[in-house]
């Protein structure tokens, strides 16, 4: 990650808006936004990836690690890092239930004017995780997932958790 120096007034703006990585990928690149709306993708993730343990609502946020096109340009592969969290409102507080943080592949088939056809693949847990990463993700994405940079991984999860909080309490 590249660190840069800024003029003090810019530092103040960054402090007020929250510090973000300068080379963070846009969670919804323009080509992706034309294919599927960010909210539709978050809703899909909440329904199919997130889980409920306390009867709350599931919210998800994602980072786009990369994209690829298959099948003569008809299917878009999205390589994502996803955080999903369940929250239950109890009086004036939010209680955290289930949570997950994982890489996954979303396949979106372009269907003309119809809603996109979506399917997903996630790596299995335990001893199969590394094997599935090798199978599901291209080399440039694998290195982002298996980098071993715990600090960067924690920052990603914290940033995505903050995005979820923003979605819950706008």
Rounded Cα gap, residues 150 and 167, in angstroms: 26
Taking 80 as the threshold, does the pLDDT of residue 1 lie above it?
Answer: no
Give the count of domains, the chain.
Answer: 1
| Residue 9 forms part of a structural domain | no
| Residue 111 forms part of a structural domain | yes
> Can you give the residue range of the structural domain that contains 34?
26-168
| Residue 8 forms part of a structural domain | no
Question: How crowded is residue 54: how many other Cβ atoms within 10 Å of its Cβ?
Answer: 12
Rounded Cα gap, residues 65 and 21, in angstroms: 14
112 and 106 Cβ atoms separated by less than 8 Å? no
Residue 87's pLDDT is 96
| Residue 83 forms part of a structural domain | yes
| Residue 126 forms part of a structural domain | yes
Query: For residue 161, what pLDDT band results from cuts at 50, 70 and 90?
Result: very high
| Residue 15 forms part of a structural domain | no
Q: List Cα–Cα distances, 73 to 68, 110, 135, in angstroms.
A: 9, 8, 21
| Residue 3 forms part of a structural domain | no
pLDDT digits (tens, 9 = 90+) for 96-148: 999 999 999 999 987 776 667 789 999 999 999 999 999 999 999 999 898 88
| Residue 5 forms part of a structural domain | no
Taking 80 as the threshold, does the pLDDT of residue 24 lie above it?
Answer: no
């Amino acid at each position: 990650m590249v660190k840069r120096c800024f003029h003090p007034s810019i530092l103040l703006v960054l402090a007020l808006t929250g510090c973000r990585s300068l080379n963070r990928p846009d969670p919804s690149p323009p080509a992706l936004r034309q294919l599927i709306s960010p909210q539709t993708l978050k809703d899909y993730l909440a329904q199919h990836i997130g889980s409920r343990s306390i009867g709350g609502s599931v919210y998800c946020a994602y980072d786009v690690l990369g994209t690829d096109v298959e099948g003569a340009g008809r299917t878009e592969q999205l390589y994502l890092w996803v955080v999903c969290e369940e929250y239950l409102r109890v009086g004036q507080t939010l209680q955290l239930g289930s949570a997950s943080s994982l890489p996954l592949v979303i396949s979106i088939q372009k269907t003309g004017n119809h809603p996109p056809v979506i399917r997903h693949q996630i790596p299995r847990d335990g001893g199969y995780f590394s094997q599935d990463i090798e199978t599901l993700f291209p080399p440039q994405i694998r290195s982002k997932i298996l980098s071993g940079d715990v600090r960067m991984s924690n920052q990603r999860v914290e940033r995505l958790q903050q995005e979820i909080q923003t979605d819950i309490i706008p």
